[in-house]
Amino acid sequence: MSKERHFFCGRILAVRMFIRFIYWLAFFDLDGSVVSINAKFFREAEIDVLCGDSSGVREELGWEPECSFPQLVSEMCESADIFVKNQMQMIKSRL
């Protein structure tokens, strides 16, 4: 049976920070009114802070993160942009 492994960056990052960074990448000015908290989506057993420890994977496999949080978000946005452009091309070709 294979061993389950977990990979973490070891940093605590808020969802709000993630969203602000995406808006910054897209050259939008986020004035705070776009992101709001809706209590109806909170779970009773929600974890307030989650920060993983990847020392076991680092020691066992010699793993090290290859990119920073900003690099990761930037790559995610680029991939999403490419996906949307490809979908738009496909839709246009069917018209």
pLDDT digits (tens, 9 = 90+) for 15-38: 777 887 888 887 676 665 666 778
Q: At what angle do helices 15-25 and 69-94 cross, to 10 degrees?
A: 60
Q: What is the DSSP string of 59-70?
A: HHH-----S-HH
**What is the pLDDT at residue 80?**
87
The parts of the chain modelled with pLDDT lower than 70 are 1-2, 5-7, 27, 29-35
**Residue 94 has what pLDDT?**
87
Question: What are the CA-CA distances from residue 5 to residues 1, 2, 31, 49, 52 (Å)?
Answer: 13, 9, 39, 20, 12
pLDDT value, residue 2: 65
pLDDT attached to residue 34: 64
Residue 51 is encoded by which pair of tokens?
């920060």
Q: How far apart are CA 40 and CA 44, in angstroms?
A: 10
The pTM of the full predicted model, rounded to 2 decimals, is 0.57
